[in-house]
Amino acid sequence: MPAIKQDIHRLRAKTQFWAVVSVLSNVAGNSALTYGMQSLGGIGNTPAALIGALFHPWVAAGVALLIVWTFAHMALLSWADLSYVMPVTAIGYVVTAFAGKFFLGEVVSPTRWAGIVLITAGVTLVGRTPPASEALPLKSEPHR
């Protein structure tokens, strides 16, 4: 296998792994944070109340997961294009919809199913491009 192809293959696998970590930590983090803040009820906007909320287990879990998301997202952007990472991680919208269906028993309407199909198609299409512009050889044809 030519070195450049091997490099693209390695980069794609690494990118997919960290994209999965990024999406799952983002969806789980936002859900935990929302659940925690809702179960706390109206706490006001004072700094003391917001810091106090951090000690609520669900809020703490949400914040921890969002820190994981930040690092995974930063790691991805250290080698992959923004115009690749941003659309590919949009699969999070689909994960959120399925999480709502399976955990909260939300109904997925035909319109929402259409949205799921469109987002999945878009993510698949972008996922077929090389993750990093620099990974492409400059003076040869695209590898696909």
Smallest distance, another protein to C-beta of residue 106, A:
11
Instruction: Determine contact, residues 35/59, Cβ cutoff 8 Å.
Output: no
Of the residues 82, 103, 104, 139, which one makes contact with another protein according to CB under 8 A = 82
* Binding range to another protein, per CB under 8 A, among 1-9, 53-61, 118-126: 118-126
Subset of residues 122 to 141 that bind another protein, contact rule: CB under 8 A: 122-126, 128-129, 133, 136
Residue nearer to another protein on the CB measure, 52 or 98? 98
Neighbours of 80 (CB within 10 A): 24
CA geometry: angle 28, 29, 31, nearest 5 deg? 65
Largest CA distance in the chain: 60
